[in-house]
Amino acid sequence: MTDRTPGFATLAIHAGAQPDPTTGARTTPIYQTTSFVFNDADHAASLFGLQAFGNIYTRLGNPTTAVLEERVAALEGGTAAVATASGHAAQVTALHQLLRPGDEFIAARKLYGGSINQFTHAFKSFGWNVVWADPDDIASFERAVTPRTKAIYVESIANPSGSITDIAAIAAVARDAGVPLIVDNTLASPYLIRPIDHGADIVLHSLTKFIGGHGNSIGGVIVDAGTFDWSRDNKYPILSEPRPEYHGIKLQETFGNFAFAIACRVLGLRDLGAALSPFNAFLFLTGVETLPLRMQRHCDNALAVAEWLAAHPAVNEVNYAGLPGNRYNELARKYAPKGAGALFTFTLKGGYEAGVNLVSNLKLFSHLANIGDTRSLVIHPASTTHSQLTDEQKIQAGAGPDLVRLSIGLEDKEDLIADLDQALRG
């Protein structure tokens, strides 16, 4: 048998899944159960002691969810993955393995507004201090590094601005600082960008968006690249030192290049508790099978709509990295040659009021706070997702008051353009 590397579409359908051993069911069944019986006392002890592979309790792992985890790990080129109840849960679960009170992490200023909130406010009560840097100025990351820095955090394609991050350049900063680079790859999906190929050590997703693709479930995932040596300089004792609750197991020593994923599971899910529901895992599995088809169509539609808007007299500026002349077009061609994603923003000559009118006049685009749905979506970030930020933070996050964000869906592009046309005419 020759070892042939299957393509992305094959992995999107097959990785992690095989016919159910008991029933032969070809689609992954929904194991909607809290717990799993042990064969005997020794089997139970082996599972609790992390000595055997198997299922204990759905907060720690579930057979339906495990298929999704392996699927995403395969698509991202990682060694293992852990699914969580939401993208936010993925962030707190991942960082909880790395930071202790008083520690710092450097994050790109251009992030999803909900992440900025979580990092700024919720993490403060853990004693985790976020230090902001500008993803368009790599030196700002170098300047932010201190002896307390434990991680660097960026989005591959930033929300809501749609700007493309120079992952390899920031990975070099992380490597020099001896800290892992964490990339939120939600907006690109592994179909467009695989951050691990460019030097990321941990990849996170809100599964809610393109991987699920249908706007029906909330979920997140943490992918371990298997690239970081956690034991090198004692900066990450959770991974390098004996764990008292597991009778002295050292996670990296025992689990090698998937130790971080194991930590997120046996410490993170166990103690923080943000496990994904098996039913949602099933919906994500159904969605991810068509990820490559959907993502290409999202990109093709987005480019067509962006080109049309750029030529419209009521439009001031279209910020889509897929358009020639955009400041991120070169990075888009390097990192995301198949397309610059489904998301972009534009400003209207009529300012704030014209934006509000446009949103209310649209008939096909849905006005809501999500992205990555089959349906085309529109939102005014300044009054919704980014409303809790200060005006200065809004502008730094690429969510100025005159800006409208579109998440282009899978409809016929002619219908999307017609809807925008009638809405702009008012």
Partner 1 sequence: MNHDIYDDDYIRGILDSMKTIAMVGASPVNVRPSYFAFKYLAQRGYDMIPVNPGQVGKSLIGKPFVASLDDIDRAVDMIDIFRNSEAALPLVEQALKMTPRPKVIWMQLGVRNDDACALAENAGLKVVMNRCPKIEYGRLSSEISWMGVNSRTLSSKRAPVPTQGMRLSLHRVSVGGGDTAAADRAARLKDDKNNRS
**Assigned token pair, 58:** 């759905």
C-alpha distances (whole Å) from 226 to each of 76, 78, 155, 229 are 12, 7, 19, 8
Note whether 197 and 362 are within 8 A (CB). no
Q: Is 100 left (phi over 0), alpha (psi -120 to 50) or beta?
A: beta
User: Looking at 112-120, 247-255, 285-293, 339-347, which segment touches partner 1 (CB under 8 A)?
Assistant: 247-255
- CB atoms closer than 10 angstroms to residue 26: 10
User: Looking at 49-57, 207-215, 313-321, 384-392, which segment touches partner 1 (CB under 8 A)?
Assistant: 49-57
Peptide bond into 180 cis (omega under 30): no
- Long-range contacts (CB closer than 8 Å, 24 or more residues apart) made by 417-420: 417/304, 417/305, 417/308, 419/362, 419/363, 419/364, 419/365, 419/376, 420/305, 420/308, 420/309, 420/358, 420/362, 420/365
Under rule CB under 8 A, residue 50 binds partner 1: yes
Under rule CB under 8 A, residue 87 binds partner 1: no
Residues 18-37 that bind partner 1 (CB under 8 A): 18-22, 24
Note whether 79 and 224 are within 8 A (CB). yes
Q: Quick one: 188 or 221, whose CB is closer to partner 1? A: 221
Q: Convert residues 171-200 into a mask of x (bound to partner 1 by CB under 8 A) and - (unbound).
A: ----x--------------------xx---
> Measured over all CA atoms, what is the biggest interatomic distance in the chain, rounded to whole angstroms?
73
Which amino acid belongs to residue 75?
A: L
User: Looking at 260-268, 288-296, 368-376, 386-394, which segment touches partner 1 (CB under 8 A)?
Assistant: 260-268
Q: Quick one: 38 or 126, whose CB is closer to partner 1? A: 38
Note whether 297 and 313 are within 8 A (CB). no
Q: Quick one: 22 or 234, whose CB is closer to partner 1? A: 22
**Assigned token pair, 159:** 């929300």
Q: From the list 11, 85, 92, 358, which residue makes contact with partner 1 (rule: CB under 8 A)? A: 11
User: Looking at 106-114, 130-138, 257-265, 297-305, which segment touches partner 1 (CB under 8 A)?
Assistant: 257-265
Under rule CB under 8 A, residue 228 binds partner 1: yes
Backbone angles phi, psi at 188, to 5 degrees: -85, -40
Beta bridge partners of 367: 378
Under rule CB under 8 A, residue 422 binds partner 1: no
**DSSP per residue over 10-24, as a string?**
HHHHHTT----TTT-
List the one residue out of 81, 11, 136 whose CA is nearest residue 269. 81
User: Looking at 2-10, 162-170, 352-360, 400-408, which segment touches partner 1 (CB under 8 A)?
Assistant: 2-10
How many residues sit close enough to partner 1 to count as binding (CB under 8 A)? Answer: 63
Under rule CB under 8 A, residue 270 binds partner 1: no
Tell the smallest beta-carbon distance from residue 333 to partner 1 (Å).
22
Under rule CB under 8 A, residue 46 binds partner 1: yes
Tell the smallest beta-carbon distance from residue 65 to partner 1 (Å).
8
Under rule CB under 8 A, residue 117 binds partner 1: no
User: Looking at 116-124, 224-232, 367-375, 396-404, which segment touches partner 1 (CB under 8 A)?
Assistant: 224-232
Which amino acid belongs to residue 242?
A: P
Tell the smallest beta-carbon distance from residue 20 to partner 1 (Å).
7
**Assigned token pair, 112:** 């999803």
**Residue 194 per-residue DSSP state:** -
Under rule CB under 8 A, residue 229 binds partner 1: yes
Q: Convert residues 65-84 into a mask of x (bound to partner 1 by CB under 8 A) and - (unbound).
A: xxx-xx--xx--xxxxxxx-
Backbone angles phi, psi at 133, to 5 degrees: -135, 165
Q: Which residues are at the interface with partner 1 (CB under 8 A)? A: 1, 3-6, 10-11, 14-16, 18-22, 24, 39, 43, 46, 49-55, 61, 63, 65-67, 69-70, 73-74, 77-83, 175, 196-197, 225-229, 246-249, 253-258, 261-262, 265
